[in-house]
Structure 1
Amino acid sequence: MLDDRFETHSSRMVDREGVWDRHSNLYAWTSVLGERRGSPDVSQYAAPARAEDLCRLPRTYIDTGSAEGFRDEILIYAGRLSEAGVSVDFHMWGGGFHGFDMSVGDAAVSRASNATREEFIRRALDR
C-alpha cells in the first residue's frame, strides 16, 4: 500500500470477493488514516507515494502482479525511485493478483517471483 488517494486505474479495477480488491484497499486505508484518507493531511510515512524527495532511499526491490490493485501506484513509485537515482529491481508478474505468490505458491509464476525476490535479498546481503 503506497497511495491512499485511489487515483490510478488499477486501484479501482479489481472488484471481486476472495482477493484483495478496491473494497479491501479502501477499508485498510480508512482503518489506518480515518477521515484523513485522501486528504492533503497524510504523511509520507503513512503513504510513501506522497514523499517528494526519494533520493536518499536505499536500493529497492519492488514487484507486482499485472492484475494487482496496487499495480499502477507501484509502477509510478518504482519510476520515481529510479528518477531519484535509487537502484531499483522492478518486476511485474503476468497474471499475478494480490498475494498470488503466497496463495498459489506452486504456480510457475509464484515460484519465479519467490526465487527472484530471494536472489535479490542474497545479492543485497552479500556485500
Structure 2
Amino acid sequence: MEPYAASARADDLSGLPPTLIQVGELDVFRDEDITYATRLLQAGVPTELHVYPGAYHGWDAVAPQVPSSVRMRDERTAALHHALKG
C-alpha cells in the first residue's frame, strides 16, 4: 500500500507536520485515531489529540450548535491559524 495515500500507513512518521486529531469518544475510528496519535508522538511529531466525550462520528454536522461542536471548530480554527501564521 502506498504510504503517501494515507500517512497512517507509513512505517516512518517522522518529518510529518504538526498534527491535530479530533475524534468523538463513540466514533468508530476512535481507537485508530488514538493509535495514530501515539505513533506520531513516538516519531517526534508535535501532536494534539482531542477526544470529545459522548460524541459520535459526524456529530458536529448533525448538531453544529452543541458546545462540543463549537469547541471542536474553535480548536480546529486555532490550530490552522497557528500552523499558517505561527
CA RMSD of aligned residues (A): 1.2
Cα distance, 1:66 vs structure 2: 0.3
Structure with the higher strand share, 1 or 2 = 2
- Return 5+ residue gaps in structure 2 as ranges: none
Question: Is 2:36 the partner of 1:77?
Answer: yes
1:39-118 to 2 correspondence within 5 Å? Answer: 42-118=1-77
C-alpha separation between the residues in 2 aligned to 1:92 and 1:114? 13
Higher relative contact order (CA 8 A, sep 6+): 2
Contact 2:8 2:36 in 1 (8 A): yes
C-alpha separation between the residues in 1 aligned to 2:27 and 2:60? 12
1:17-28 to 2 correspondence within 5 Å? Answer: none
C-alpha separation between the residues in 1 aligned to 2:67 and 2:79? 18
Cα distance, 1:46 vs structure 2: 3.6
Distance 1:46 1:124, change over 3 A: closer
- Return 5+ residue gaps in structure 1 as ranges: 1-41
Percent identity for Structure 1 against Structure 2: 38
**How big is each residue's C-alpha offset from its partner over 1:37-89, in whole Å with a ceiling of 9 and x where there is no partner?**
xxxxx322344332100001111111100000100000000000010000012
SS at match of 1:102: helix
Contact 2:21 2:50 in 1 (8 A): yes
